[in-house]
Amino acid sequence: MWKELVEYRELLWMLVWRDIRVRYKHTLLGALWAVAPPVLTMLVFVFVFRHAMGLRDLTGGADIPYPLFALCGLVPWSFFSAGLQGAVGSLVANRSLVTKVYFPREVFPIASVLSAAADFLVAWLVFGGLMCWYAAQGHWTWRPTIELLALPLVVAVQFSLMFGLAFFLSMGNLFYRDVGFVFRGVLPLMMFVTNVVYPLRSDDPRIDFLIRLNPLVPIIDGYRAALLGIGSAPIGPLAGAAAVSALLLAAGWTLFHRCEYTFAERI
């Protein structure tokens, strides 16, 4: 796979740039719209939890401003959501290219994830600005910890997970369009069984075990440990998420590659 992707890297980057350009074409704010989903969602939850419901301990006991805690989970979640929503329809949306001369069809779901990664990067810049604002106001002080070194691993695990799921979803949606509808319906529900805007813990070890089966949970915990110093890096759970992500990536690419010759017929 990697050899072919390197060979067709110009096509891949052309698709990525096309997706980014089309996304913000004829907009006044341009790439600033990249931060709208996580920031607006964060503001909604701040209003609902802090003002409407009067809840106070929303960070699991960590001395962190809740907007920072929430945004640190919403940025990777928005990347996960946008990247896979683009990937699920990527083969169908590019049907005119899929039926033409040979090139690795993997470039379509991969390009969808990479184009969403551009928004991911911009959103982290805004997150950094919010960190600086809280520090300047004296409400919070950022102290880098050893967990910051785990950040590249956390990012790599998330990308691996997303690439693997992108292969399965794009291929499944090509054969059965129901996959796209089901995925888009389930995705909002997934947010509430993931530790995106609140800590997800249970005193019942069986329920806590089920929570930990969600590979996004240690990934988001990893971001918070690395960037906000909340707890220690979840090395054990993160290693499990890395194993699941690697397995999904290998299985997804293998199945995608084996079924690739049927895509033109089914599209």
Residue 25 CB contacts under 8 Å (≥ 6 apart), including other chains = none
What are the tens digits of pLDDT across the range 112-136? 999 999 999 999 999 999 999 998 9
Domain of 23, in residue numbers: 2-266
Q: pLDDT category, 203, cuts 50, 70, 90? A: low
Contacting residues for 208 by C-beta, under 8 A, at least 6 apart: 201, 202
pLDDT at 2: 67
Task: Tell me the helix, strand and coil percentages in the chain, rounded to 5.
Answer: 75, 0, 25
Q: According to the per-residue pLDDT averaged within each range, which of 87-96, 99-108, 248-257 is highest?
A: 248-257
Q: Can you tell me the mean pLDDT for 153-158?
A: 97
pLDDT band of residue 137 (cuts 50, 70, 90) is confident
The domain tally of the chain equals: 1
Element housing 218 (H / E): helix 216-228
Mean pLDDT computed over 192-198: 88
pLDDT in tens, 74-86: 999 999 999 999 9
